Structure 1
């Protein structure tokens, strides 16, 4: 009787979530969001599997001070459509940053996560705040340095 000994069995570890905190003021938008997506997908752990969600949660503070390179702050546009004829609305980066600063990071992060139910679960593990204040002090988040 042949037994396949090449199977990798990963035990699910019901640990409590690891909380991380990032200051968006220090980093460029793309580098910040790609690192967040990397951590959310659990790629920084040894037991990474593409179909499993990790137990990491991320807090992003100072989202209204996020930086971009080049002239993106006056040239990049964000579009939304109401679904009605002629309902396309466009807005440039600067105006959106003044009005709803969290939406810029949310939009960039959604584009980097999987487009399925796993991506929606992972997106719920990110908390974005426009200022320094956040209600997650009791979780003792670990400060992450991207550079």
Structure 2
């Protein structure tokens, strides 16, 4: 059962991070899109955010099961650090994408300031995701 959970955990990590990479080229298209094309790009952006959010639920659940079945203590440095980063990422994601996408939907032409805000949120969130990925893979002895 443990190897199957590891597989589920790794696949959910890929699905949680991978689609955000696709959004990077979409940002440049958002800057020039208007009308229905702008809204279709925003639909794509919102779909990716939802997909990654729900994949993150599987990721966390499988991670908790792996901790429990693997006998890892909660105070292991890389586990504790990952949970701190995870808690911060939940609050960040809740405020980073949906409100900005909602504001962009209210205009027919791209708003440079809002797209810049969306781009900044995307890059910050990718950094957070890669930080958690690094903690999971490298398992550093932080203290």
**TM-score with structure 2 setting the length:** 0.27
Greater fraction helix = 2
Higher Rg: 1
